[in-house]
Structure 1
Amino acid sequence: MQRTLEGRVALVAGATRGAGRGIAVELGRAGATVYATGRTTREQRSEMDRPETIEETADLVAAAGGTAVPLRVDHLEPAEVRALVERIDADHGRLDILVNDIWGGDMHMDADVPLWEHTLDAGLRMLRLGIDTHAITSHHALPLMVREPGGLVVEVTDGTAEYNARYREGVGFFYDLVKVSVQRMALAQAAELRPYGASALALTPGWLRSEAMLELFGVTEDTWRDALADQPHFCISESPALTGRAVAALAADPAVARWSGRTLSSGHLAQVYGFTDTDGSRPDAWRYITEVQDAGRPADATGYR
């Protein structure tokens, strides 16, 4: 990848694992200085109790030829986020790219029960982790971004706007609210940032081969196709790098404002910008999910990657 983002400064909030880690790596590969935040470090784990750390993310950015600053930040704590932005301001005096990928609510999900049977504390915790964190981070970061025109906010969500327009059983009230709220946040920020020459959009990965998903299927990134025996539709899955390359392509696009306010998918952007996943393919997961998986057709990714 060309270093199209040389001299740019990015904050990837929620860069410990999954899509956030992939975004941090690809922004660093493209030349941006990346501030990678999360709650899990080598000395301390978050409530998710997973092994991935922000220091590992920084190491991966370095291995890709980039520069990353790993910082432990709880994005529910306004004082910590304010201190983070003050650090970026002191170091660079600018912020060009803000990626809100903060989540951490998997352990609180119970998607197979209706609202009134869901544990209320767990559901409200999901809303705080998936919505409040994004609002707090943008509140503190955007004053730095709007000093110069050309800034970009990427709100990471799950599912395209068209796909999420209809409520689907098995998603759950609280998680559905998180997904669509993040998309609405992108729309609102797009309108508020427009006079300052900045853009905001929502971005969804497809079926992501995150560390947790690979662990669930008992495979690795090298052996992920072994999972197809149990879940044939996993054939459309993508690595976190695809989402990362989507963000890098958007950030390097001088006409990125054309996307402002919209919800985009990594698979669609791969077709538009011409980048590929690590295996050279371009998986278009949401078109596949709609036309094949949800339609009850046999698993076959032909024509979709």
Structure 2
Amino acid sequence: MTEQDSVNNLHGRIALVTGATRGAGRAIARALADAGATVYCTGRSTSQTPSDYGRAETVQETADLITAAGGRAIPVITDHLDPDAVRALIQRISAEQDRLDILVNDIGGEAYVKFGLPLWDHDLAEGMKLFQTGFTTHLYTSHAALPLLLKNRGSLVVEVTDGTRSYNASHFRESVFHDLTKTTVDRLAFAQGHELAPHGGTAVSVSPGWLRSEMMLDAFGVTEQNWRESAEANRGKPDALPPYEFVISETPALLARGITALAADPRRARWNTQSLSSFSLAEHYGLTDVDGSRPDAWSFITDMETTQVDQLEVHNYR
């Protein structure tokens, strides 16, 4: 079996995807299920009690999409900031499946990011809400889930963050709380990888590029049909929305396809402790986004710092 063939070989695997309500989490849950895994999908939102993100999506909808496609999904309403609730979730998975093979920590807290505020002007409670949502949820979930993951060799932990390790090491992410949240998630993957390795497990951090999620499209007032022309029209207009850099954006499917290929790769331990991107995974496994492209967002964004916009050709990064 080649690496390309293995992408559809997750039958019998049990996966937990946190933050599966929308965006990357929803796409990852769907891709893992399409490859044959049974996927526990968690989130806080229900039709009766929507989250404070102000979004209509629910984790039940994610499960319904998976079921309609012939996959198996089990939605569980879970607040991952409540350690007791997280422990109850893992106990349920243990009782129902007696194993857990794949953990994807995808809760991000993006709705709580406040850019343009120095630390001393930032509301402390709001900043900590971002950090706790975007990092502490990952820590609580891994703490509860790792004993079950380690029952079988070959387990995989994926920490979804924003920015690769090399990019974040040389770039301030515009806000102290945002910077710390995303870099700490990556460090959690690095640390877990060291502890999992003697037990046959693998942990990595993975970052999408500029994610064209439902929230991002809405924030820029564009749709999946017109986002590209809207971004291209703003070339050379630094304050316009969407910014020109949005031309390098990608759908959540690219990240989801890469993580699924990684989970199915019998040699995935070679990536242990590493920081990966949707582009690096797609390049290695021969994957593309839904439109056939393979955006290299972090290279494009980095090159924009040293190259005039009118000299950059986006097709060179796709």
Instruction: Give TM-score scaled by structure 2 length.
Output: 0.91
After superposition, residues 116-155 of structure 1 pair within 5 angstroms as 116-155=120-159
Distance 2:228 2:68 in 1: 26
Q: 1:240 aligns with which of 239, 248, 252?
A: 252
Q: Which runs of 4+ in 1 moved over 6 A?
A: none
Distance 2:88 2:137 in 1: 15
- Is the aligned partner of 1:176 residue 2:179? yes
Distance 2:9 2:223 in 1: 31
Q: Which amino acid is the alignment partner of residue 316 of structure 2?
A: G
Counterpart residue number, 1:3: 8
Cα 1:51–1:226, aligned 2, differ >3 Å: closer, same or farther? farther
Distance 2:190 2:153 in 1: 18
Preserved CA contact (<8 Å) 1:58 1:69: yes
> What secondary structure sits across from 1:74 in the alignment?
coil
Counterpart residue number, 1:98: 103
> What secondary structure sits across from 1:225 in the alignment?
helix
Counterpart residue number, 2:39: 34
Q: Which amino acid is the alignment partner of residue 230 of structure 2?
A: A
Distance 2:69 2:208 in 1: 21
Structure 2 gaps of 5+ residues are 235-242
Identity over aligned pairs, percent: 53
Counterpart residue number, 1:46: 51
Worse overlay, 157-166 or 220-229: 220-229
Distance 1:292 1:167 in 2: 13
Cα 1:257–1:82, aligned 2, differ >3 Å: closer, same or farther? same
> What secondary structure sits across from 1:303 in the alignment?
helix
Preserved CA contact (<8 Å) 1:218 1:227: no
Q: Which amino acid is the alignment partner of residue 103 of structure 2?
A: L
Deviations 1:128-164 (A, max 9, x none): 1111111100000110000000000000000011110
- Is the aligned partner of 1:292 residue 2:283? no
Q: CA deviation at 1:69?
A: 0.8
Q: Which amino acid is the alignment partner of residue 301 of structure 1?
A: V
Counterpart residue number, 2:189: 186
> What secondary structure sits across from 2:315 in the alignment?
coil
Q: CA deviation at 1:55?
A: 1.2
Q: CA deviation at 1:268?
A: 1.3
Cα 1:198–1:281, aligned 2, differ >3 Å: closer, same or farther? same
Preserved CA contact (<8 Å) 2:248 2:300: yes
Deviations 1:90-149 (A, max 9, x none): 11111000000112342x322201100111110111111111111100000110000000
Preserved CA contact (<8 Å) 2:90 2:145: yes
Preserved CA contact (<8 Å) 1:105 1:125: no
Distance 1:293 1:280 in 2: 27
- Is the aligned partner of 1:111 residue 2:111? no
> What secondary structure sits across from 1:27 in the alignment?
helix
Q: CA deviation at 1:211?
A: 0.6
Distance 2:115 2:220 in 1: 19
Distance 1:56 1:284 in 2: 30
Counterpart residue number, 2:239: none
Q: 1:273 aligns with which of 277, 285, 301?
A: 285
Distance 2:60 2:224 in 1: 20
Distance 1:98 1:292 in 2: 35
Cα 1:294–1:12, aligned 2, differ >3 Å: closer, same or farther? farther
Worse overlay, 121-130 or 204-213: 121-130
- Is the aligned partner of 1:57 residue 2:62? yes
- Is the aligned partner of 1:218 residue 2:231? no
Q: 1:87 aligns with which of 67, 92, 99?
A: 92
Distance 2:266 2:193 in 1: 16
CA RMSD of aligned residues (A): 1.5
Preserved CA contact (<8 Å) 2:8 2:264: no
- Is the aligned partner of 1:255 residue 2:267? yes
Q: Which amino acid is the alignment partner of residue 302 of structure 1?
A: H
Instruction: Give TM-score scaled by structure 1 length.
Output: 0.95
- Is the aligned partner of 1:302 residue 2:306? no
Q: CA deviation at 1:62?
A: 2.4
Worse overlay, 189-198 or 59-68: 59-68
> What secondary structure sits across from 2:159 in the alignment?
strand
Worse overlay, 228-237 or 81-90: 228-237
Counterpart residue number, 1:203: 206
> What secondary structure sits across from 1:165 in the alignment?
helix
